[in-house]
Structure 1
Amino acid sequence: NLFPIPMLDGGHLVYYAIESVRGKPLGPDAQEWGFRIGFSLVIMLMVVGTWNDVVRLLSMAFGG
């Protein structure tokens, strides 16, 4: 959860760090884009993990 991906807790820590350096929070548009990018990264990680599991199971099932 502490990875600096905006959807996760680590991403919130990054936003807080940016806010402390700038002295003001990021705008809503910047936060929204950060969350979109973070969501995309999490979904891609899930797809890759699922793909690897399926390939491994199929290779074990068919003697690969």
Structure 2
Amino acid sequence: MGDKQLWTTGDIAQRLGISVQRARLLSRRPDFPDPAQEIPHFSLWRACDVELWLVNGVTDRET
């Protein structure tokens, strides 16, 4: 996964093994990385930012 790869909530869900709905809830957490790009009804996150967030110790993935 390259540093420039952008992920949707579907990609995040797949990476974490959770539902897309749960990924959407996680993406609204104040400690979740800010989207790299936003268009109407769609946000994209840098894969490296999400991975760093995971490495830094997400204590509650259930939101």
Is the TM value for this pair above 0.5?
Answer: no
Question: Per chain length, whose mean CA-contact separation is higher, i.e. which structure has more relative contact order (CA < 8 Å, sep 6+)?
Answer: 2
- TM-score, normalised to structure 1, is 0.27
- Tell me which protein shows more helix as a share of its residues: 1
- TM-score, normalised to structure 2, is 0.27
- Tell me which protein shows more strand as a share of its residues: 2
* Larger Cα-atom Rg: 1
